Amino acid sequence: MKNNKPVSVAIDGPGGAGKSTIARILAKRLGYIYVDTGALYRAVGYAALTAGLDPRNAEAVCALLPSLCVELTYLEGEQRVLVNKEDVSDRIRTPEVSMAASAVSAIPEVRRFLFALQQDMAVRHSVIMDGRDIGTVVLPQAQVKIFLTASAEERARRRYEELIGKGMSVTFDEVLRDMEERDKNDSERATAPLKAADDAVLVRTDGDTLEESVERIYRIVEEALA
């Protein structure tokens, strides 16, 4: 799929739907840049927690932004997240940071803070960008829009297995509870709530293997750009 100008593929959906894993694999297959926008919000949430702030305190979080530098870089083809030049890629994947990310993402100033970075990537490169408001807010003109989802139980199971695999001490019930709370927060926030774009293709991945999900999304992208 060769194009003369940058191509944007937007993949939205709730936490644990497999957006990041699928987007990363597809980007490599297509030769696009992968942009994990959720990692950017996690980075801000992590910075707030590290500074001893309540991520729900908009005034305190906004005061932190002028001294905050969040960057995406790529090491051997893998995206790494830097906060003030420090690689925090692994530290931002905990349930605590996940909830902090949900809290700071509801702050309009935080969204504006990260908006330019996300759009600039799409202007300069063909990208697969995943998040919760890519097709609706960040890249409304994306050539391909996909809303990827699965049941809360299925998504929690995947996230639980991921965290256990990383040696973290969590229970399935804790992960499910956090998942349901974040779904509620993301869907009900006033600024850029989680929802499918009107022209997005809805894909449910319950029962699919990773390989099956990747193939389904690849065919959608292929058909849209043909």
Structure confidence at residue 104 (pLDDT): 96
Give the pLDDT band (50/70/90) at residue 3. low
Is the predicted pLDDT of residue 59 greater than 90, yes or no? yes
Of all residues in the chain, what percent carry a pLDDT higher than 90?
Answer: 70
Count the Cβ atoms, other than its own, within 10 Å of residue 198. Answer: 8
Q: Quick one: what percent of the chain has pLDDT higher than 70?
A: 98
Q: Spell out the domain ranges in the chain.
A: 8-225
Q: Which of 125, 116, 146 is nearest to 7 (CA)?
A: 125
Q: What CATH class does 8-225 carry?
A: alpha beta
Residue 38: predicted pLDDT: 87
Whether the predicted pLDDT of 107 surpasses 90? yes
Element (H, E) at 160: helix 152-165
- Is residue 56 pLDDT above 90, yes or no? yes
Average pLDDT taken over every residue of the chain: 92
Place 43 in a pLDDT band, splitting at 50, 70 and 90: very high
The pLDDT of 8-19, averaged and rounded, is: 93
Does the pLDDT at position 130 exceed 70? yes
Q: Residue for token digits 């644990």?
A: 16
Give the tens place of pLDDT for each residue, 159-197. 999 899 989 889 999 999 999 998 998 899 888 888 999
Per-residue confidence (pLDDT) for residue 4, from 0 to 100 = 67
221 neighbors 144 (Cβ within 8 angstroms): yes
What CA–CA distance (Å, rounded) separates 182 from 98?
8
Distance (Å, rounded) from C-alpha 9 to C-alpha 96? 29
